[in-house]
Structure 1
Amino acid sequence: MLIPIADYAAGIGVANDLVGTSASVRGTEALAGPADLAALLAALPHDFRALNEEHVQLVRLLRGEVRAVMETATEDEAVERAALLAGHAGLSPVLRRDPSGRWQWYVPTARNASLAGEIAAVIGVALLGLVRALGHGRFRACAAPGCRGVFADASRAGRRRYCTPELCGNRLNVANHRARRRAAAP
């Protein structure tokens, strides 16, 4: 697999989605089997081989490493940990032409790399790209009360507040709506 260095958004999306599968965020394990793993990896432009329970277990372990990068206190620590992720299956960067014919930097993965190693390399390169382009301040804790989720904000505006907007953001919006209704009731 060749991981484009300049295009880190897909890798950040997978990193956020992976960290968001934990029971500490959702209340139950959301990476329950190979079908869940396939859905998680659907955003990546790579055809991963047949997924099985061992892949799921290894990616669950990887989830903790990814979360640790997002929880770092300093930019230097984030870069160090993300580089370790990228090194799981990544090799030296190469310069190749992209489909449009322009030169693009890529990080190739080893031919015999494990699935978890390839995912780690994709996420590691993406997290390094995020730190370089947008800074360490884009690693955040979820703003929803009681949520222990973390995420990397790769949005242009940098205003993301929730680890899982459709879950945490919606939960908070519903709670605020109910509070307003109670306050308005006679």
Structure 2
Amino acid sequence: MQIAFKGYVAGAAAATDLVNTSPRVRSAGDALPDSASLDRFLAEHSLRPDAPRKSDDLARVHGLRDEIRAVLEADEDEAARRAGELVARAGTGPRLHRDADGRWQWHAETAPHASLADELAAVFGTGLLGALQALGHDRFRHCAAPDCDGVFVDTSRAGRRRYCMPDLCGNRVSVANHRARSRERS
């Protein structure tokens, strides 16, 4: 698998989404309960790992999910160290390859023997390192929803994202605020 360095936003976003599939974040339970849900997650994020599929892939991705959460909750130096370790698990170092337009682009390649979880670790670690370098550690955040334990990387241009899953957590907070205002008026 080749990971484009210019694509750190996609890697950081996918890392955020993976962490927030956890039953620790979702009251409805694990959003990755089986291999089919893992396949959907990979497809939704346009991830096409080269690693042959194995029976323990799901368990290893669940472990990776916990490792990524630890990166997001760590202080700045520890986050850089841990994300670097994720990249090193499957990476073989940077290389230059031509893109579709013939321009040179930096890529990290994964080793031929890398497992699915290791290839994903390299993708997500690269995204997290890119976000740390380009945006700063203050973009690694906890969800602002009072009833949520989610974490995320704010890759938005303005840097004002507050919720791990804006469609779910942000909406829930907005509805609660609306109901509170309606009760005050009555």
- Asked if the contact 1:79/1:128 (under 8 Å) is kept, the reply is yes
> Who is 1:176 aligned against?
177
Deviations 1:107-166 (A, max 9, x none): 000112100000000000110111111111110010000211111111111111001111
Aligned residues: 184
Could you tell me the TM-score, scaled by structure 2's length? 0.93
Judged with a 3 Å threshold, the aligned counterparts in structure 2 of structure 1 residues 53 and 176 are, in CA distance, closer, same or farther, namely farther
> Superposition pairs for residues 14-163 of structure 1, below 5 Å?
14-27=14-27, 28-42=29-43, 43-46=45-48, 54-73=56-75, 75-163=76-164
Moved more, 48-57 or 119-128: 48-57
- Secondary structure at the aligned position of 2:25 is classed as helix
1:152 partner amino acid: V
Moved more, 22-31 or 46-55: 46-55
Distance across 1 between alignment mates of 2:49 and 2:73:
30
Deviations 1:77-125 (A, max 9, x none): 1110100011111111101111111111100001121000000000001
1:5 matched to 2:19:
no
2:4 partner amino acid: P
Judged with a 3 Å threshold, the aligned counterparts in structure 2 of structure 1 residues 35 and 81 are, in CA distance, closer, same or farther, namely same
Task: Structure 1: give runs of 5+ residues left out of the alignment.
Answer: none
- After superposing on structure 2, the runs of 4+ consecutive aligned residues of structure 1 that deviate more than 3 Å are 47-53
- Asked if the contact 1:34/1:51 (under 8 Å) is kept, the reply is no
Moved more, 89-98 or 45-54: 45-54
Percent identical across equivalent pairs? 53
Distance across 1 between alignment mates of 2:49 and 2:107:
17
- Secondary structure at the aligned position of 1:130 is classed as helix
Task: Structure 2: give runs of 5+ residues left out of the alignment.
Answer: none
Distance across 1 between alignment mates of 2:173 and 2:80:
32
- Asked if the contact 1:11/1:44 (under 8 Å) is kept, the reply is no
Could you tell me the TM-score, scaled by structure 1's length? 0.93
Judged with a 3 Å threshold, the aligned counterparts in structure 2 of structure 1 residues 48 and 96 are, in CA distance, closer, same or farther, namely closer
